[in-house]
Structure 1
Amino acid sequence: MSDERVLGHRDDVTAVRGEERAVAGLTWTADARAESYTVTAAGLWGTSEASGRDLLAALETVRRELEDEGWLLALNAARPDVAQSGMLRSSGGSRAYVLRDGTPGRLDAMVDLFDDAPPSAVTTVDAQKEAHRRWLRSL
């Protein structure tokens, strides 16, 4: 039997595919017994669900599935300038740093992964990872 707990749910997430916009539902849960997190996104594409060792890993898997259909979620988690540190990831938290070239992540520059981001500010998982590598090189 699982010990699953809902951490959050939204029915108003914007999903974008080019100029097309859709509203999606997003739920994120934690299973203490399995030490895992699950993210579920439901929209025009149907339902995509993934589990991972932390919230970001589960969300990135869902994002990749949606990317295969051309969809991006307009969330802070999909911004190229947003990333979690290893400590934030292992804590199971949904907070992340807003990164600026040449500057370490700061506590006063944090956002929630699941909060809205402008559709024009989001990118693919791979592009986000490359932006993070560039930021690391800038330090």
Structure 2
Amino acid sequence: MAIGEATVVAFSTSEAADAKIAYRVGGYGSTMTATGPWGEVTAEGRMGFDTLRALRLKLEELGWYLSVNGARYDVYCFGTIMNFTNGMYVTVMGDDSEDPYVHLFGRADPKLVWYVAGQDEFFDYYFSGIKADTERERMEQALVKWQESKA
């Protein structure tokens, strides 16, 4: 079980602010509470990544986004990393290194942060049968394919 608190950067269309995320992950489920300019928002889920997604959906409704690795378009939590870390680490898709994992609450470039539905759509494109020599090429092709679908 992981219990802790993370200080993160949150942003809206007009401002950026520090926020706190208190979390309890493991056992029979997970809970996260984000405190920031919006007040206090709480979400529950099965594991860390699921709970962060639920929290992000609530914050999106309020016009806020979290600048954390778990909100990047090019990451997702699946497979053994999900099981071994209880969803507290995510896989960076397109990373050809031996250790393509980053912590859920690690600071992310706001340009990489997407809304929850967009992150899901990109994940689907990434695994839609694209053939490439490297994971980086696969990720780039998935991004182009996703962008073309939005045009």
Please give the TM-score of this superposition, normalised by the length of structure 2.
0.77
Q: Which has the higher helix share?
A: 2
Query: Would the alpha carbon gap of residues 95 and 6 (structure 1) be closer, same or farther in structure 2, given more than 3 Å must change?
Result: closer
The equivalent of 1:65 in structure 2 is 58
1:62-92: CA deviations, max 9, x gaps? 1000000111000000000001114333441
* Runs of 4+ that moved beyond 6 A: none
Q: Confirm whether residue 99 of structure 1 aligns to residue 93 of structure 2.
A: yes
Q: Distance in 2 between matches of 1:61 and 1:107?
A: 30
CA contact (8 A) 2:5 2:20 kept: yes
Paired residue type of 1:97: T
What is the aligned-residue identity percentage?
31
Paired residue type of 2:68: L
Q: Distance in 2 between matches of 1:61 and 1:67?
A: 10
CA contact (8 A) 1:97 1:107 kept: no
| 5+ residue gaps, structure 2 | 132-151
Q: Confirm whether residue 8 of structure 1 aligns to residue 1 of structure 2.
A: no
Query: Once the 2 structures are TM-superposed, how far is the Cα of residue 31 of structure 1 from its aligned partner?
Result: 5.5
CA contact (8 A) 1:48 1:66 kept: yes
RMSD of the TM alignment (CA)? 1.9
Residue in structure 2 matching 1:135, options 126, 134, 145: 126
Name which of structure 1's ranges 12-21 and 123-132 shifts more when overlaid on structure 2. Answer: 12-21
Q: Which has the higher strand share?
A: 1
CA contact (8 A) 2:74 2:112 kept: no
Name which of structure 1's ranges 119-128 and 87-96 shifts more when overlaid on structure 2. Answer: 87-96
CA contact (8 A) 1:49 1:62 kept: yes
Aligned length: 129
Please give the TM-score of this superposition, normalised by the length of structure 1.
0.83
CA contact (8 A) 1:6 1:27 kept: no
